[in-house]
Chains A and B, each alone.
Chain A
Amino acid sequence: MKLAVVVQRYGADLNGGAELHARYIAEHLARHTQVEVLTTCARDYITWRNELNPGLDIVNDIPVRRFPVSRERDVDDFGQRSTQVFEQRHSVAAELAWLRSEGPTSPALVNHLRRHRANYDYCIFFSFRYYHAYHGLRVTAGRSLLVPTAERDPALGLRIFAGSFRSVRALMYNSYEERALINAVSQNHSVPGVVVGIGSEVPTDPQPNRFRQVTGIAGPVIIYVGRIDENKGCRELFEYFRRYAWIAPTLTLVLIGKPVMPIPEHPQIRHLGFVSDQEKFDAMAAADLLVIPSYYESLSMVTLEAWALGRPVLANGQCDVLAGQCARSNAGLYYDSYEEFAETLHTILSQSALRRALGANGRTYFNTHYTWPVIERKYLTMLDRLERADQRNGGRAEPLPGWLGRRRRDLPPGRELVDQLPTGPASVTRTEEAGES
């Protein structure tokens, strides 16, 4: 069996969520089958500028075929088209124009897929919202799988993507909430899908004492790992923590990651900046809990790492995925307001038995659902299922409307559609969840 992993960027030094996800999947599936990566020459996800050489490359023993991007992104044009399709009534043509503007516009990649699709048994596409995925899915509809990495953003409400979700052979979801969102927006219940997520490599012997010796931090610690960004909910986290710090003078908030917003000066907030993986895991092992203030996550890898280390998680309850995972795993609490933040934080910090139990549940949850053998088995099982199924039962690209139909402005704003989608954690029974594992 030969697989093509199609992703917008690819490289050992690229740490974007979907890109890292794709690389991990490619490297782990390569142990079981032949894998080739198809991607662009871009490194920057804003401009899609061609920075890498086109042609065949090898990354961690995986063959990578790169294709040039025909045009860089015009930020102003993209902004205007985004406003048009997200906020106003628009047409299919406007959505397609928005997709071209977003990029990475690589007709060479799509042409390669069209010409050589027979060489691949299956093509696994990552990130539904990009040019390569939409057009690639259309030319490989009978043999395509999609890892949507969808969040609750207005792009999910665009009409063209609903067809993508219905035309693939299978969907590999990151979470039950993501599946619920996509099912609701595209009514693709008949398309096979499985909640997979991604595994993580976590050291078995992190040294929390080493972290405390190096940093000199004593007392309880809560830790945030990731980009320190307002879009990640960090401003709210800082505000809540500063209020809570009044009643917890020994508590320290440790931040690991690149700051793209000012970090408030506070004696109980410690920013460690970039650290090595070893230091990161030492810090996470030393922490009493991991806090995830983000509003939108399709899957939080650092959450899984915390659970792998037996650490509970305090998540933003407005993120459906995180709240749902906390509820299903019984390994973390979540908050919607400062009152809940303070109560949940106090509850975890003050009750060691609960903290240990949450951590143990997290470790169990990680071992059950997110170890690499489990992830690999899910992929292989799905591929095997598709192999045995009749290809005529699915995987046909839905035809686009005609010239006039594409220009008819009868589509609602994408944001309006997404706002009407159900919110909150998906209702999944333990049995159902165990069955998928």
Chain B
Amino acid sequence: MPAERSGRSSGGGATHDNNTMAEFKIHSDSVDVTRIMEQIRERIREKRGTDYTEQQIHELATVKLESVLDPGQVRSGLVEHFRQLDNPGRIEPIPPHGEFAQPPEVFDFDQETIYVSSRGPMGKLIRLIRKLLNPLLKLFFNPTPVVFALSRQAEINAWTVQLLQRQTDLIERVSTQFERVGKKFAVREELDALNYEVLNNLVVEMTRLSVDVKNHKMLVESVAGRLDFSERRSRALESVVQKQSPRPPDATESEGESADASATGSGRTRRRRRRSRRRPGGAANDGTNAARSTAGNGSAEATTAVDASGEAANEVASSGEAITTAAPSDVTTSAAATPSPTSTAPNSAADAAPTDPPPTIAPTSTAAPSPAPTADSTKPSRPDADNGTSEQ
């Protein structure tokens, strides 16, 4: 191997993407050819880096949805290259084989050939002499079989030349066919490689899109949960505003109810948090189902009597708003509404839904002791208990 006097990268091999050629920013006042060549070769190396090898294509195709690649790696000029390949004019011609030399002319040989002379008039005389001396010649050997063999050989030669000519024509036709097929195969191979690449890029894009779709689904669910919470909160606030002006006659009862409501609100807050976690996108009536599932049998009778506005009011109370004197009339506070020891109400902060605000209990609510649980707190709830009245 010859030693290199200076570093020089060799090329060849990779497919060149002509449509994405480099635009080298070169200042004309300080042209450095060596530097330009380095830039060009670096650019070529970079382009080769984006080209997938056959093995890489197979690997990527088998990975399917497990990897997400940068879509920027998709070659921008791929389609154009594909179109160019589709043009049959791009086929590199196979150099034609060399011309066959013309076969020598067939030499006709007959019985008279051995006596013929080409010396014109003198030749006739020579031929005559030879004929005359023929008997003498036959004393030494018999020329007849030689003449026969040579004439037969001449016929065979003519036949062979004809046969060879036919075979030559056939070979030329077959060669032409082979060339056409070869060209087609060459183009096909390159198209296959491009198809593999296109397919691979499609798989990659689909993978990326599917992951995007999953992410968007989760985002929509989260937004729906927040929207549900906001709707209930706004309804609760509306109801608070409506009930605030006429004060109920039994202030003590109201205070008790408000205390209960506060206490209940605290409990409800925990239940709401659990509901939000379990059914983030649920409607307003989902609250009842969630309460039924979380409060257990004993508390279910009361919780089913709580409508959506009542729950929202409790939530507002639990969030620290001054509603101690504004207990909604349709809220039925009862011991059954308080957390039961046997209930499956959430008892850990981990159960709180992430979308809910952190529970802050109003000072008045925290002062009120929680009512003792009733003995029937474990009784199954009845449908007729949902009438808005307290069992107490």
Q: A interface vs B, CB < 8 Å?
A: 180, 239, 244, 246-247, 317, 320, 323, 326-327, 329-340, 342-344, 346-347, 350-351, 353-354, 356-358, 361, 419-427
**CA A357 to CA B44, docked complex, whole Å:** 23
Given A327-B33, A420-B2, A427-B5: A351 in contact with B11 (beta carbons within 8 A): no
**CB nearest neighbor in B for A356:** B28
Among B7, B11, B19, B33, the residue within 8 A (CB) of A326 is: B33
Give the chain A neighbours of B37 by CB distance below 8 A: 327, 333-334, 344
B18 in contact with A422 (CB, 8 Å): no
Give the chain A neighbours of B92 by CB distance below 8 A: 239
A330 in contact with B31 (CB, 8 Å): yes
Among B5, B10, B18, the residue within 8 A (CB) of A342 is: B18
**CA A424 to CA B29, docked complex, whole Å:** 27
- Quote the shortest CB–CB distance from A181 to chain B (angstroms): 10
Q: For chain B, what secondary structure do more than half of its interface residues adopt (helix, strand, loop), or is it mixed?
A: loop
B interface bracket (residues with beta carbon within 8 Å of A): 35 or more
A357 in contact with B19 (CB, 8 Å): no
A338 in contact with B6 (CB, 8 Å): no
Q: B interface vs A, CB < 8 Å?
A: 1-12, 14, 16, 18-19, 21-24, 26-29, 31-34, 36-37, 40-41, 43-44, 47, 84, 90, 92
B26 in contact with A351 (CB, 8 Å): yes
A423 in contact with B2 (CB, 8 Å): yes
Given A244-B18, A350-B23, A422-B2: A337 in contact with B33 (beta carbons within 8 A): no
Give the chain B neighbours of A343 by CB distance below 8 A: 21-22, 40, 43-44
A–B pairs, 12, beta carbons within 8 Å: A327-B33, A327-B34, A331-B33, A333-B36, A336-B8, A337-B10, A340-B40, A342-B18, A343-B40, A347-B22, A353-B27, A357-B29
**CA A329 to CA B36, docked complex, whole Å:** 13
Among A326, A342, A353, the residue within 8 A (CB) of B21 is: A342
**CA A317 to CA B38, docked complex, whole Å:** 13
B11 in contact with A336 (CB, 8 Å): yes
A247 in contact with B31 (CB, 8 Å): no
B2 in contact with A339 (CB, 8 Å): no
Give the chain B neighbours of A340 by CB distance below 8 A: 11, 40-41, 44
A336 in contact with B10 (CB, 8 Å): yes
**CA A316 to CA B22, docked complex, whole Å:** 20
Give the chain A neighbours of B11 by CB distance below 8 A: 335-340
**CA A244 to CA B90, docked complex, whole Å:** 11
Among A320, A327, A339, the residue within 8 A (CB) of B16 is: A339
Among A180, A344, A357, A421, the residue within 8 A (CB) of B40 is: A344
Give the chain B neighbours of A339 by CB distance below 8 A: 11-12, 14, 16, 44, 47
**CA A340 to CA B34, docked complex, whole Å:** 13
Give the chain A neighbours of B22 by CB distance below 8 A: 343, 346-347
Give the interface centre of A336, A347, A351 by most chain B CB atoms within 10 Å. A347
**CA A336 to CA B92, docked complex, whole Å:** 20
B36 in contact with A347 (CB, 8 Å): yes
B84 in contact with A422 (CB, 8 Å): no
A336 in contact with B6 (CB, 8 Å): no
Give the chain B neighbours of A326 by CB distance below 8 A: 33
Give the interface centre of B1, B11, B41 by most chain A CB atoms within 10 Å. B11
**CB nearest neighbor in A for B41:** A340
**CA A340 to CA B36, docked complex, whole Å:** 11
A246 in contact with B18 (CB, 8 Å): yes
A426 in contact with B5 (CB, 8 Å): yes
B6 in contact with A427 (CB, 8 Å): yes
Give the interface centre of A334, A423, A426 by most chain B CB atoms within 10 Å. A423
**CB nearest neighbor in B for A351:** B26
Q: A329-B33, A343-B43, A421-B3 are in contact. List 13 more A-B contacts (CB 8 A).
A: A239-B92, A330-B32, A330-B33, A340-B44, A351-B23, A353-B26, A353-B28, A356-B28, A357-B26, A357-B28, A357-B31, A358-B31, A424-B5
